[in-house]
Amino acid sequence: MIETLITLPLLAFLLFAAVEYWGVLTVYQHAESLKYWALSRMEVEGGLPAEDRDELFARLVEIGADPDTIEITGDVLDGRDPVPWPGRVELRIEFVPEYFDGFTARVLLGQGPGEPVVIGVEGSAVSQKIVAE
């Protein structure tokens, strides 16, 4: 009886921890996939066009990112000239997951109990944009 009282809460904690860790890892893997999609677009265009940025934002919301915390930085073409070949285009995406931001996820990922879980992915690619002179 005493062993059951000790092990049952431990097993429940492990179950919740595993589900939250799986959720954060899944959202992270989807963010990595979206990063590669955006980098392939940036490689062709010499930066991230505004319509692709909006689509990236919408896709991040679909995978579970909190819309108020999404930051997309790097070579975004909001009125800027594209990066010509052989320059490098860079992208950084950072957000807080909307659903998997519980205490156990924070502890498992090594963050403080009061700090949000922040997912960040970044990458770069060589621009293939040829600019006519």
d(CA 117, CA 99): 10
Tell me: the pLDDT tens digits for 68-124? Answer: 988 988 877 777 777 788 888 889 999 988 776 666 666 666 666 667 778 889 888
Specify the pTM. Answer: 0.76
* pLDDT per residue as tens digits for the range 26-79: 888 999 999 999 988 888 888 888 888 889 999 999 888 888 988 988 877 777
Task: Confirm if 67 and 76 have CB atoms less than 8 A apart.
Answer: no
DSSP the chain: -HHHHHHHHHHHHHHHHHHHHHHHHHHHHHHHHHHHHHHHHHHHHTSB-HHHHHHHHHHHHHHTB-GGG-EEEESB-SSPPPPPTT-EEEEEEEE-BSS---HHHHHHTT--TTSPP-EEEEEEEE--PPPP-
How would residue 24 be classed by pLDDT, with cut points 50, 70 and 90?
A: confident
- Concatenating the DSSP letter of every residue in 40-77 gives HHHHHHTSB-HHHHHHHHHHHHHHTB-GGG-EEEESB-
